[in-house]
Amino acid sequence: MLRDGLIAEDPTLQVDLPQLGKPLPKSLSEADVEALLAAPEVDDPLGLRDRTMLEVLYACGLRVSELVGLTLEQVNLRQGVVKVFGKGSKERLVPLGEEAIGWLERYLREARGDLLGGRPSDVLFPSLRGEQMTRQTFWHRIKHHAQVAAIGTSISPHTLRHAFATHLLNHGADLRVVQMLLGHSDLSTTQIYTHIARARLQDLHARHHPRG
C-alpha cells in the first residue's frame, strides 16, 4: 500500500519490536565436566592445585573472583562448607561435597606448602609467587585444561558455574535452593538456567519416550 501511494507512511514503523531475552549461558555436559576435572596432572603441585580449584568451582558454583579470593579460614573441612563473600559482601555458606573435601585435604597436605615455598600466606590457592592468583591467570589455566580434555566448547571459569546450576536442576534441585547456592539476590537471574534444564529434559523425552 505504501508502494502504491495509498498510504503516506509505513505503519510498521510504529510497531515495537519484541525484546530479545538474555542469551542462554554456555554449559557443559556431565561427561565434559568429568573430562575437564581429570585433565590436570595431579602428581605435580601446580596440577594438584588446579584440580582442586576445578573441583571446588564445580562443587560450589562459585564466581571466579570468589574462588581465587578464598582464604584458609573460609574453608571448614570438618563441617564440609565454605564461607563465601559474594557481590555486595553478602555472605553465604556453600556445601563442598565429599569429592571436593577429599581433593582439598590432599592439596593442603601435598601441594600448598610447595607453592608457597615457606612464605606466610592465608590464600587458599596461591600462585607460584605465593600470592593470590588473578582471575586472568585462572582463566588461562582452565582454557589449557579444556584443550587437554579435548573439549570443543569454548569455556571460561564461569562455564563451570553454569554447569553447577544446570546439573543441579537436571537432577531435581529446587530453583530457590540453587538461587541461594549461587548467591543470586533475584530469582529471575537463576531462572535462566531452567531453560537449559528444560531443553535437556525435552531431549531425554524425545530420545527415550516410545512416542517421543
Alpha carbon 116 to chain centroid, angstroms: 26
Amino acid at 99: E
- Say if CB 94 and CB 82 are below 8 A apart: yes
Alpha helices (H) in 61-185, listed in sequence order: 64-68, 98-110, 112-116, 135-148, 157-170, 175-182
Q: Which class for 74: exposed (0-12), middle (13-18), buried (19 or more C-beta within 10 A)? A: middle
Query: Could you say which of 49, 51, 63, 141 is catalytic?
Result: 63
The CA distance from 18 to 135, in Å, is 36
Alpha carbon 54 to chain centroid, angstroms: 9
- Say whether 63 is catalytic: yes
Query: Could you say which of 83, 92, 158, 200 is catalytic?
Result: 158
- Say whether 184 is catalytic: yes
Indicate the angle between helix axes 157-170 and 187-208, nearest 10 degrees: 60
Query: Could you say which of 87, 90, 144, 198 is catalytic?
Result: 87
- Say whether 90 is catalytic: no
Query: Could you say which of 49, 51, 161, 167 is catalytic?
Result: 161
Q: Which residues are catalytic?
A: 63, 87, 158, 161, 184, 193
